[in-house]
């Protein structure tokens, strides 16, 4: 298989699985194993590149929300905007503005704290100690159980604006746990959000906005690794193909996944995770 096709394949895998609750890190690990891809050519630096692609995808999709948040910065410290233990109840809008957008900034900041702490102090240890098929099979299965439980326990009556800061922090803890391959950032955060009573589509929307900070932070931390391999020659071409393919597929994944969740359950993704975990176990036994 030509290397450019391999780069596009991994970009598609990243773009699709970054936002679906099935774990992008697990799929990238398994894709390299199943297809026998060169771990040096398609290692961590390439992962950084395709994460940049998915970052571009989610930023473009939520561009109006992000613009509204930027415009609300002067109100960020307005009294009452950052009420830690209280929720707000206002009419749902497609794009937030004013105090609502300012409060969302606080929610995302608070929700990002756990991932920042875990990533800075334990990120390298997690990268080295948990990137294995066995761990991936276990976390895929546990994540599936979480999705099934959320569907059956969560009331799914609340909207995003009803979240308290404490609940935002709890969702952020779920995002931090997703640093372990196979957990899935969107899977863990959507599971916790739905367990807290959010509707599925609302949970996904908050998850993706929260993920912007996490993906950006991870890309910044690992960007020196990408520079270390150089951006000239064939490496630049591979990175470009990976970024473009992950950006295009990632945008489509975000758009249609949110629409899908408005009227469909998470069970299909739980079933997929269990099937993939079983496939990994079979592969491990045979190898």
Q: Has residue 95 got a pLDDT over 70?
A: no
pLDDT on residue 219: 77
Residues 6-49: tens digit of each pLDDT: 889 999 999 999 899 998 888 887 888 777 776 666 777 788 88
Average pLDDT over residues 128-152: 90
Residues 78-90: tens digit of each pLDDT: 755 655 444 444 3
pLDDT cut 70: percent of the chain above it: 87
* Distance separating alpha carbons of residues 54 and 15, to the nearest angstrom: 6
pLDDT on residue 85: 47
Q: Has residue 2 got a pLDDT over 60?
A: yes
Residues 106-124: tens digit of each pLDDT: 999 999 999 989 988 887 7
Q: Has residue 231 got a pLDDT over 70?
A: no
Looking at mean pLDDT, say which of 117-121, 183-187, 224-228 comes out highest.
183-187
With bands split at pLDDT 50, 70 and 90, how would you rate the model's confidence at 212? Answer: very high
């Amino acid at each position: 298989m030509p290397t450019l096709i391999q780069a596009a394949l991994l970009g598609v895998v990243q773009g699709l699985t970054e936002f679906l609750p099935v774990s992008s890190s697990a799929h990238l690990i398994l894709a390299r194993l199943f297809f026998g891809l060169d771990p040096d050519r398609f290692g961590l630096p390439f992962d950084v590149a395709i994460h940049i692609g998915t970052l571009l995808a989610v930023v473009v999709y939520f561009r109006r929300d992000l613009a509204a948040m930027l415009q609300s910065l002067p109100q960020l410290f307005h009294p009452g905007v950052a009420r830690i233990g209280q929720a707000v109840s206002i009419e749902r809008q497609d794009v937030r503005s004013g105090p609502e957008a300012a409060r969302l900034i606080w929610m995302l900041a608070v929700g990002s704290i756990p991932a920042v702490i875990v990533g800075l102090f334990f990120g390298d240890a997690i990268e080295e100690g948990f990137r294995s098929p066995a761990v991936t099979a276990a976390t895929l299965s546990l994540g599936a159980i979480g999705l099934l439980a959320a569907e059956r326990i969560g009331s799914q009556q609340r909207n995003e604006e009803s979240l308290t800061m404490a609940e935002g922090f709890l969702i952020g803890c779920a995002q931090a746990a997703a640093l372990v391959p196979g957990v899935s950032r969107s899977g863990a955060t959507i599971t916790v959000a739905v367990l807290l009573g959010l509707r599925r589509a609302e949970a996904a929307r908050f998850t993706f906005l929260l993920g912007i900070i996490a993906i950006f932070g991870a890309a910044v931390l690992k960007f020196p690794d990408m520079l270390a391999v150089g951006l000239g020659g064939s490496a630049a071409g591979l990175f470009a193909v990976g970024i473009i393919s992950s950006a295009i597929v990632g945008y489509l994944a975000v758009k249609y996944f949110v629409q899908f969740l408005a009227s469909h359950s998470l069970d299909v993704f739980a079933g997929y995770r269990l099937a993939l975990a079983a496939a990994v176990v079979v592969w491990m036994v045979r190898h």
